[in-house]
Amino acid sequence: MDKLLIEGGRRLAGEAAISGAKNAALPILCAALLTREPVTFTNVPQLNDIGTLLKLLGQMGVKVSRDGDAVTLDASVIDNPVAPYEMVKTMRASILVLGPLVARCGEARVSLPGGCAIGARPVDQHIKGLQAMGAEVQVEHGYVHAMVPRLTGARLFTDMVTVTGTENLMMAACLANGETVIENAAREPEVVDLANCLIAMGARISGAGTDVIRIRGVESLSGTTHRIMPDRIETGTYLCAAAATGGEIRLTRTSTAYVDSVVDKLMDAGCDVTSERDAIRLKAPARLTSVSIRTSPYPAFPTDMQAQFMAINAVANGAAMIRETIFENRFMHAVELQRLGADIRIDGNTAVVHGVERLQGATVMATDLRASASLVIAGLVADGETVIERIYHLDRGYERLEEKLAALGARVRRLT
């Protein structure tokens, strides 16, 4: 199993390009199931999760072709509307095929995703919404089996804000008979990007980006070409890496519009952040000031950036409190950061971090995608060598990580 070796103590400086957003690309690729015409998506990142989803779509009958960051999908024939456990277990976002398959084919069998390291991610809101739209849904032998001749528009209220639930139901509603209203909808930029893609395909959607989304169903959707938005979490991660090392970087093909809450906290920590049209510049002080954060659904501070801020607070001046309100088990990286010398105390969903002068390199283990990113940041500032095990997590969400960090001056290499 591959490992990552980081020689710490080097200041990041230079320029790096941000890739397309994985969390936008996954639902948008699933949207291809809604039309018989070819669709082409550009700025698609080359990540393990993307490859898994394309393989899943291919086994359903979708013709898949890839050229660099462009992916063309032809779902004119769907002869196997099934998402088997063997594929779904490796990527929870596979549940996003459920809504499009039911809407297009009238039937779908999708495996329940199973457990997740960072906490419960129930799909009951997806099922509840499809049932309200007239689908007969049964959960049997670990699979969600949904059937309906044609979905009917309905008023849907999700009990909790769910990004994938909002996306699944929005896609399903595009081909439903009548109007669907999703209340308490997720407001994330990735939801807006999906809505923009669907609108380009002929869907009638309003309100994306607010907590009430309206979809007027149509008979069919057409093909289109759509560019995936920049990855705001990758953007935030590189900003944090530069901030922790006292660096100065310019990130291209991205925008502060997607990371306002993250930028605000980095400025509170003492960084100088400048916004350009399609780029962000950051200049960090020699040592950061600790900043407290509380995760909440967009537009508040994202849970996917919590681990990275724990890493920078570990070497900042002062103490900070981190409250995690989204997932109940998302402090597993704290124990690994402690192995590097971080002073962190956990009490339920709250972590108190006292900054130390420096961290010490050691061998640590990644537990999930964003935890991996926090360990990379810590490794970049630690004295000596840090070895991160189980880095397949990083390959799920960070395209060409070693290459981009090396271009910024880091000493990092993969061990096989």
Burial of 403 (0-12, 13-18, 19+ CB in 10 A): exposed
Strands 82-83 and 107-111: parallel
Beta strands in 179-314 (DSSP E): 179-183, 204-206, 212-216, 225-227, 248-252, 272-275, 279-283, 293-294
- Are 295 and 323 in contact by the 8 Å Cβ rule? The answer is yes
Looking at 105, 116, 197, 271, which residue is catalytic? 116
Which pLDDT does position 91 carry in this prediction? Answer: 82
Residues of the chain with pLDDT under 50: 115-120
- Give the pLDDT score at 155: 98
Q: Is 174 a catalytic residue?
A: no
- Terminal alpha carbon distance of the chain: 6
Task: Tell me the pTM.
Answer: 0.95
Query: How much is the pLDDT for 114?
Result: 60
| Three-class DSSP category at 35 | strand
